[in-house]
Amino acid sequence: MAEKRIQILSDAEVKDLFSAQSFNEHDRRYFFSLNYAELRVLRSLRHRLNKRMFVVMLGYF
């Protein structure tokens, strides 16, 4: 028995949704810059690994 699959998104929409993003310089500054409060917390951390994890967690949440 052959089942048909429902296609909700077009191929172009799937590609846009799941392909790697490319950012121009303005987008990189906007999305990846820390605000004053985040920068203050980052500077209060002592170890480089903790600083990296802080930035990763900010991006994740």
**pLDDT above 70: residue 2:** no
Average the pLDDT over 34-50 and give the result. 96
Is the residue at 10 inside a domain? no
pTM of structure = 0.57
The predicted pLDDT at position 48 comes to 96
- Count of domains forming the chain: 1
Is the residue at 11 inside a domain? no
Is the residue at 7 inside a domain? no
Is the residue at 54 inside a domain? yes
Q: Tell me the three-class secondary structure of the chain, residue by residue.
A: CCCCCCCCCCHHHHHHHHCCCCCCHHHHHHHHCCCHHHHHHHHHCCCHHHHHHHHHHHHHC
Containing domain of residue 56, as a range? 25-60
**pLDDT above 90: residue 53:** yes
Is the residue at 8 inside a domain? no
Is the residue at 20 inside a domain? no
